[in-house]
């Protein structure tokens, strides 16, 4: 299993764009055992540090008067036959670039903003902000790791989305990238999660899920698109949850997932809707995606 950057690198190398990657040398048994022991001790220290910090932060909750709340109206049950809608559309790379420039931002910011605007009308109506996950690749030259992707968590303000203010969106994205770089302590130590059984981990408080995933692969290398004298003029990238139903979606969180890839003169946008209520089928998702891109002045062609 690999992330997008690893997959692109592997195809380029297989197509003559570089030598094969060398796998790390496996240590002999004594060294491997010592490495495992050192790793285990480091994890124990991490858990102990986390537990000490958690104990210092713990304070008795103030008493609050009892209140009577009106029961929330349960949501309409989703159609059990629902599956994830998925649409692919493409446009001229120059048109996308020009539309982003007119709004004071980049193609990536326009892409993320467009997805967030769709999500705000379907999965997060009336929300002051829309949570957006921005994948960041940590891949280096000749990196043998299969996955180096980390996620910067941004919160796009509703007024910036309404105004298509890419300058404000860019500032918020920069804040998210800086926060990712600081390596803030997670609410639960990752080493502890590795030690606990799945049944226990599922009962722990979960971090808030983003409503949008905006994954941009950028401009694809020529050696990724070329094969046996032929060149792909459009390339779609998608990595989602094919075949899952509404019950499984409920455990992930409602939202919109999108991937962007540029192949020369054409840029392709692939979108999935994890929202049985707001995006009931592919026709509705296609309508939303086309209307959103047209509102930016971008002509599209669906696959």
Find the range with the poorest average confidence among 14-28, 56-70, 230-244: 56-70
- Mean pLDDT in residue range 31-41: 78
Look at strands 129-137 and 212-219 and give their pairing: parallel
- For residue 235, being part of any structural domain is answered with yes
- For residue 46, being part of any structural domain is answered with no
Give the distance from CA 74 to its chain's centroid.
29
- For residue 109, being part of any structural domain is answered with yes
Contacts of 220 (CB under 8 A, 6+ apart): 8, 235, 261, 262, 263
Q: Looking at residue 292, which CATH number applies to its domain?
A: 3.30.559
pLDDT score for 60: 53
pLDDT score for 249: 84
pLDDT score for 194: 60
Q: Is the pLDDT of residue 145 over 80?
A: yes
pLDDT-derived band at 214, boundaries 50, 70, 90: very high
- For residue 20, being part of any structural domain is answered with no
pLDDT score for 189: 57
pTM attached to this predicted model: 0.78
Q: Which residue has the higher pLDDT, 267 or 78?
A: 267
**Domains contained in the chain, number:** 1
pLDDT score for 202: 58
- For residue 222, being part of any structural domain is answered with yes
Full residue range of the structural domain in which residue 125 is found: 80-142+151-302
Which of these, 258, 285, 220, lies nearest to 133 by C-alpha position? 258
- For residue 64, being part of any structural domain is answered with no
Tens digits of residue pLDDT in 54-102: 666 555 544 444 434 444 344 455 677 888 999 999 999 999 999 999 9
Query: Residues 38, 32: contact at Cβ < 8 Å?
Result: no
Give the distance from CA 9 to its chain's centroid.
20
pLDDT score for 61: 47
pLDDT score for 38: 82
Q: Is the pLDDT of residue 21 over 70?
A: yes
- For residue 8, being part of any structural domain is answered with no
Query: Residue 13, Cβ neighbours under 10 Å: how many?
Result: 15
Which of these, 252, 243, 258, 254, lies nearest to 276 by C-alpha position? 254
pLDDT score for 195: 62
- For residue 289, being part of any structural domain is answered with yes
């Amino acid at each position: 299993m690999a992330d997008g950057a690893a997959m692109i690198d592997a195809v380029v190398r297989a197509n003559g764009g570089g030598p094969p990657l060398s796998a790390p040398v496996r240590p002999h048994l004594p060294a491997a055992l010592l490495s495992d022991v050192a790793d285990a001790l480091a994890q124990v220290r991490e858990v102990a540090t986390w537990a000490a910090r958690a104990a210092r932060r713990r304070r008795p909750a103030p008493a609050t008067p009892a209140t009577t709340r009106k029961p929330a109206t349960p949501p309409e049950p989703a159609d059990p036959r629902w599956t994830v809608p998925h649409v692919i559309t493409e446009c001229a790379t120059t048109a996308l670039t020009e539309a982003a420039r007119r709004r004071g931002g980049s193609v990536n910011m326009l892409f993320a903003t467009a997805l967030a605007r769709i999500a705000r009308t379907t999965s997060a109506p009336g929300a002051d902000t829309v949570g957006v996950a921005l994948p960041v690749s940590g891949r280096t030259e000749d990196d043998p790791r299969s996955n180096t992707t980390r996620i910067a968590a941004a919160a796009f303000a509703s007024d910036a989305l309404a105004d298509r203010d890419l300058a404000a969106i860019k500032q918020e994205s920069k804040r998210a990238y800086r926060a990712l770089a600081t390596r803030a302590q997670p609410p639960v130590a990752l080493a502890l999660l590795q030690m606990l059984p799945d049944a226990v981990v599922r009962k722990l408080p979960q971090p808030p899920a983003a409503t949008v995933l905006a994954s941009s692969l950028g401009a694809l290398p020529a050696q990724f698109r070329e094969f046996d004298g032929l060149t792909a003029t459009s390339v779609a990238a998608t990595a989602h949850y094919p075949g899952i139903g509404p019950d499984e979606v409920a455990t992930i969180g409602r939202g919109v997932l999108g991937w962007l890839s540029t192949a020369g003169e054409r840029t392709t946008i692939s979108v999935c809707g994890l929202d049985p209520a707001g995006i009931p089928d592919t026709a509705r998702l296609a309508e939303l995606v086309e209307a959103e891109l047209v509102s930016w002045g971008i002509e599209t062609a669906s696959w």
